[in-house]
Amino acid sequence: MVYLEDALKTLLSQAFKFETEQVSLLGSLGRILAGDIHSDIDMPPFDKSAVDGYACRLNEELQNVDSFPVSLRMVETISAGTVPQKAIMAGECSRIMTGAMVPEGANCVIMVEDTEMIAENLVMVLRKSQGNNICYRGEDIRSGKLVLTKGIQITPAQVAVMAGVGAISPLVAKLPRVGIISTGDELVEPGVIPGIARIRNSNGVQLEAQVTTVPAQPFSYGIVADDVAELHNIINHAMADNDVVLLTGGVSMGDFDFVPEVMQKAGIEILFKSIAIRPGKPTVFGRRNSTFIFGLPGNPVSSFVIFEMLVRPFLHRMMGSELKTLRLMLPMGTDHHLWKSDRKSLIPVIIRNGFVYPVEYHGSAHINAYTVANGIMELEIGVTTIKKGDQVNVRPL
């Protein structure tokens, strides 16, 4: 049995950098950036007005004026997307729109709220605006500057940044192919009403959903019976077609738990097969050549939690990304007691108003708990009682 931290270290050390591809700008959303992005222009590309108002010469006309109002002659109107035709001289101004190019000679834009039009081309400045209201060329980004670093997971804001610097075909990591196998004679598909002693296969679609959110490409192999020959065949098939295989069920110590044995017969090197956590102890990880396999427990909470703790960071590492998992130290909002503490405990909780509250949880088959939980609390080995106000380690979901 290995500790969770050691299991994570082992599997991350096995991951190799994945292949890359160029995609469309919108198609890059959620993908892992595989190449640095540099700006091809200054941003802003010209001095532009930050407000609607009047561009003028602050230093010469207004700085030394002790009282207002001050009148200025308006020489033109500048809308966004047009080039100013006239330079600003002493006693002059140009009406200007937000985002428009500031004319030559102007070093200030007086907000329209601080002015009054007193004649057709005569503007009265009632008071001096705060700041000069000009966004200067290159003040956000200089041409050639690094704006996005490879290894990040691309967000909508980063899509906007790439659009602004002309990176319309970013290089991203290819999506890993992830095969999903559910084992167990007791399983039926979700659309089937289970008979006596049968249950619906929720693990399969749960893992497909989790894989999709990485993002990676899930491929379901359906339900496989507790039969050594059939299981051996489907594992070989899945290992040949995918980069990673997720198999649920059949990894514990029961008479029909064949998975570790079949893995070894299939030529898979087992790197660990038990983790000191609750839930999720009977977790197996192995590899054959460049393909990896996780044998996950059959209980839904176990497979859900192990995916988040181990599989998700592994897939990110394969795509060249370090998954930066947020962990918070927060106070308990109530007392909590555990009956066992021989393994690290992973407990579904609700984070509310800065406090942590365990949700109703009946064990590793109770996936319903995670429909309301927004975090996982980690309690170390030996901890059985935590009091209201005690600080605990929580991973937000």
User: Helix (H, G, I), strand (E, B), or coil: what is residue 202?
Assistant: coil
For residue 52, which amino acid is it? D
Predicted pLDDT at 365: 85
Whether residue 157 has pLDDT greater than 80: yes
Check whether residue 64 and residue 165 sit in a common domain.
no
Mean pLDDT, residues 223-232 taken together:
90
Assign residue 80 the CATH number of its domain.
Answer: 2.170.190.11
Mean pLDDT, residues 241-252 taken together:
89
Angle at 13 between CA 379 and CA 269, to 5 degrees: 100
Predicted pLDDT at 66: 58
Domain residues for the domain of 57 are 48-135
* Encoded tokens for 90: 């002493």
Predicted pLDDT at 256: 46
Check whether residue 276 and residue 346 sit in a common domain.
no
Burial of 10 (0-12, 13-18, 19+ CB in 10 A): middle
Whether residue 255 has pLDDT greater than 50: no
Confidence tier at 364 by pLDDT (50, 70, 90):
confident
Asked if the structure places residue 323 within a domain, the reply is no
Of the candidates 83, 105, 135, which is a domain's last residue? 135
Predicted pLDDT at 322: 87
Mean pLDDT, residues 102-118 taken together:
94
Out of 36-45, 128-137, 152-161, 332-341, pick the least confident. Answer: 128-137
How many CB atoms within 10 Å of residue 13?
A: 9
Assign residue 390 the CATH number of its domain.
Answer: 2.40.340.10
Check whether residue 255 and residue 380 sit in a common domain.
no
Predicted pLDDT at 134: 96
Check whether residue 299 and residue 216 sit in a common domain.
yes
Omega before 260 within 30 of 0, i.e. cis: no
For residue 390, which amino acid is it? D
Predicted pLDDT at 391: 97
Question: Which of the 8 DSSP states describes residue 57?
Answer: -
Confidence tier at 86 by pLDDT (50, 70, 90):
very high
Confidence tier at 142 by pLDDT (50, 70, 90):
very high
Asked if the structure places residue 388 within a domain, the reply is yes
As a whole number of angstroms, the distance between CA 336 and CA 348 comes to: 12
Strand extents, DSSP E, 64-161: 70-78, 92-96, 108-111, 115-119, 122-125, 134-135, 146-148
Confidence tier at 253 by pLDDT (50, 70, 90):
low
Check whether residue 28 and residue 169 sit in a common domain.
yes
Check whether residue 26 and residue 59 sit in a common domain.
no
Check whether residue 73 and residue 102 sit in a common domain.
yes
Model confidence pLDDT, tens digit, residues 268-318: 999 999 999 999 999 999 999 999 999 999 999 999 999 999 999 999 999
Q: How far does CA 314 lie from the centroid of its chain?
A: 15
Asked if the structure places residue 146 within a domain, the reply is no
Check whether residue 76 and residue 95 sit in a common domain.
yes
For residue 374, which amino acid is it? N
User: Helix (H, G, I), strand (E, B), or coil: what is residue 235?
Assistant: helix
Asked if the structure places residue 227 within a domain, the reply is yes
Model confidence pLDDT, tens digit, residues 158-184: 999 999 999 999 999 999 999 999 998
Question: What is the overall mean pLDDT for the chain?
Answer: 93
Check whether residue 102 and residue 198 sit in a common domain.
no
Predicted pLDDT at 64: 53
Of the candidates 135, 164, 182, which is a domain's last residue? 135
Model confidence pLDDT, tens digit, residues 28-84: 999 999 999 999 999 999 999 999 999 998 765 455 555 678 899 999 999 999 999
As a whole number of angstroms, the distance between CA 243 and CA 241 comes to: 7
As a whole number of angstroms, the distance between CA 92 and CA 87 comes to: 9
Query: Which of 42 and 365 is assigned the larger pLDDT?
Result: 42
Model confidence pLDDT, tens digit, residues 1-29: 899 999 999 999 999 888 999 999 999 99
User: Helix (H, G, I), strand (E, B), or coil: what is residue 296?
Assistant: strand
Asked if the structure places residue 207 within a domain, the reply is yes
